[in-house]
């Protein structure tokens, strides 16, 4: 890899000399994604009802409305069960290529820069958005054609690659003391986009219709890509241009593997492996529930899309405010470390799952969200922990490894969660929350080991300093 140039010269630009504008295109993209999801949910249910299960258009038409009625009560269980198969296949397809690309692109970006990792996925999402519009306009297409719209998204790396680039970008342009806040701001940007999309989705569907809403979201995706491509500055000084033909160089995988699995002091290798397993489980919970929670509330609490999007907006807003309040006030006031605070966040997330499991009224869902206001902090806190506890030259490689590991989660999640939901739908639909609680508890145990290892490392450093003073 020496033909790539002197990689030691590829240093982050001075912190204040760079326009760190990655949050804006990501915000626009997340608004588009949230609006698209709301419009597509009922379209997929309708197409499944008509094309896959053979019911009449008149029988299935109520699925297109964001306001739920009892007209679909007799069809609900069969339509939901079948649509989970479609969403499972689509999600697996979406994350096959990102899982492969993420193994190469973290180390690749050390030479060719972080910007491509942000721009390429946004381009793929814009193309997928256009395909979704075509799918929605062609009413004769069955719900299975929706799977094909994931191809551009997958081939360009999707969210796995985009957030690999975004977190490396933040690591390049932030000081150690501000990395937690910057990563929290990035995650809060995602939450804000989700809030905006959820708040306005129902009203936009009722006002302009599903197809026009999808056309609007496709436009937002194109704007997001154009802004990122034109205005985002590269964060590495001396990054080489081009390099697309070298993305799949196996040497990048070897280098990432060597750096992540080499022997490190204070059980550093074990910490990386544990964090990787934790992130897989956390991602599986997110992706496993995100596609099923609307169906769960529709089945158990008889919610309409409007009720669900209202709840989703409130829940996301709580998480959004909890992120800032947690990092800026709680963590500093209580002097909690990143891992310790992550454990608190996971504990509250478990309580949230249990409340939703036993939900018999709508307020259970809202109370669960209120209790778990810090649950969104685990991701940025653990990444911040990495930036503070590992050498700066290894950060991109470790992030790339974690993102490669994380990419397994979105592929496994729908297979496990959707299958479980399909089997237990008629008897115990809350089984998905039992599984989530078990996974969260496992993460808590593993984080306990990470905390012990990091304490031992701090203790060793402290003793060394004392010994130096004694001499």
Q: What is the DSSP string of 336-397?
A: --HHHHHHHHHHHHHHHHHHHHT--SHHHHHHHHHHTTTGGGHHHHHHHHHHHHS-GGGHHH
Q: Domain count of the chain? A: 1
pLDDT digits (tens, 9 = 90+) for 366-415: 999 899 888 878 888 888 888 888 887 788 788 878 877 887 887 788 88
Instruction: Give the chain's residues under pLDDT 70.
Output: 1-20, 66-74, 176-177, 179-180, 457-471
Look-up of token digits 């006030």: 329
> What confidence score (pLDDT) does residue 469 get?
36
- For residue 65, being part of any structural domain is answered with yes
> What confidence score (pLDDT) does residue 72 get?
63
> What confidence score (pLDDT) does residue 68 get?
62
- For residue 87, being part of any structural domain is answered with yes
Count the alpha carbons within 13 Å of 55 in the hemisphere toward its beta carbon.
20
> What confidence score (pLDDT) does residue 257 get?
83
Look-up of token digits 């690999």: 164
> What confidence score (pLDDT) does residue 217 get?
93
> What confidence score (pLDDT) does residue 445 get?
94
- For residue 351, being part of any structural domain is answered with yes
CATH number, residue 101: 1.20.1250.20
- For residue 155, being part of any structural domain is answered with yes
> What confidence score (pLDDT) does residue 154 get?
92
> What confidence score (pLDDT) does residue 16 get?
41
Q: Where are the alpha helices (DSSP H) in 232-304?
A: 250-261, 268-290, 293-300
In this structure, is the dihedral angle defined by the CA atoms of residues 115, 121, 127 and 133, taken in order, positive or negative? Answer: negative
Burial of 266 (0-12, 13-18, 19+ CB in 10 A): middle
* Residue 412 belongs to domain spanning: 19-237+248-461
pTM equals 0.71
Are 25 and 220 in contact by the 8 Å Cβ rule? The answer is no
- For residue 359, being part of any structural domain is answered with yes
- For residue 278, being part of any structural domain is answered with yes
Beta bridge partners of 12: 236
- For residue 468, being part of any structural domain is answered with no
> What confidence score (pLDDT) does residue 177 get?
63
Q: What is the DSSP string of 126-165?
A: HHHHHHHHHHHH-TTS-GGGGGGGGHHHHHTTHHHHHHHH
- For residue 327, being part of any structural domain is answered with yes
- Percentages of the chain per state (helix, strand, coil), in multiples of 5: 80, 0, 15
d(CA 100, CA 93): 12
* Residue 381: how many other CB atoms lie within 10 Å: 28
């Amino acid at each position: 890899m020496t033909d790539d140039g002197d990689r030691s010269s590829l240093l982050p630009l001075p912190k204040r000399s760079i326009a760190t504008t990655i949050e804006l295109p990501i915000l626009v993209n997340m608004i588009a994604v949230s609006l698209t999801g709301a419009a597509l949910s009922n379209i997929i249910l309708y197409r499944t009802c008509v094309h896959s299960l053979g019911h009449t258009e008149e029988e299935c038409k109520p699925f297109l409305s964001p306001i739920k009625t009892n007209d679909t009560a007799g069809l609900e269980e069969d339509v939901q069960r079948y649509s989970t198969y479609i969403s499972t296949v689509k999600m697996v397809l979406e994350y096959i290529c990102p899982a492969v690309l993420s193994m190469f692109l973290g180390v690749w970006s050390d030479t060719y820069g972080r910007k491509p990792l942000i721009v390429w996925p946004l381009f793929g999402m814009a193309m997928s958005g256009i395909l979704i519009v075509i799918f929605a306009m062609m009413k004769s297409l069955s719900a299975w054609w929706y799977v094909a719209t994931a191809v551009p998204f997958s081939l360009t790396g999707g969210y796995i690659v985009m957030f690999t680039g975004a977190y490396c970008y933040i690591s390049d342009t932030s000081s150690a003391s501000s990395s937690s806040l910057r990563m929290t701001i990035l995650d809060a940007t995602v939450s804000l986009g989700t809030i905006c999309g959820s708040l306005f989705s129902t009203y936009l569907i009722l006002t302009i219709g599903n197809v026009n809403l999808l056309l609007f979201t496709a436009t937002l995706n194109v704007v997001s890509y154009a802004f990122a491509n034109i205005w985002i500055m590269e964060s590495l000084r001396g990054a080489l241009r081009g390099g697309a033909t070298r993305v799949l160089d196996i040497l990048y995988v070897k280098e990432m593997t060597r750096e992540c699995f080499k022997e490190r002091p204070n059980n550093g290798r074990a910490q990386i492996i544990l964090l990787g397993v934790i992130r897989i489980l956390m991602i599986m919970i997110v992706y496993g529930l995100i596609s099923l929670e609307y169906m769960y509330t529709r089945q158990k609490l008889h919610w309409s899309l409007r009720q669900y999007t209202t709840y989703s907006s409130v829940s996301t807003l709580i998480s959004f405010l909890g992120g800032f309040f947690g990092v800026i006030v709680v963590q500093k006031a209580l002097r909690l470390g990143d891992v310790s605070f992550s454990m608190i966040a996971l504990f509250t997330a478990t309580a949230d799952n249990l409340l939703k499991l036993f939900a018999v009224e709508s307020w259970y869902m809202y109370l669960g969200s209120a209790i778990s206001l810090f649950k969104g902090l685990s991701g940025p806190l653990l990444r911040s922990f990495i930036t503070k506890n590992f050498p700066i030259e290894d950060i991109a490689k470790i992030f790339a490894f974690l993102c490669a590991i994380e990419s397994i989660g979105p592929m496994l999640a729908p297979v496990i969660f959707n299958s479980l939901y399909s089997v237990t739908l008629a008897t115990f639909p809350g089984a998905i929350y039992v599984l989530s609680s078990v996974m969260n508890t496992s993460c808590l145990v593993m984080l306990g080991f990470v905390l012990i290892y990091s304490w031992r490392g701090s203790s060793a450093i402290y003793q060394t300093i004392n010994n130096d003073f004694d001499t």
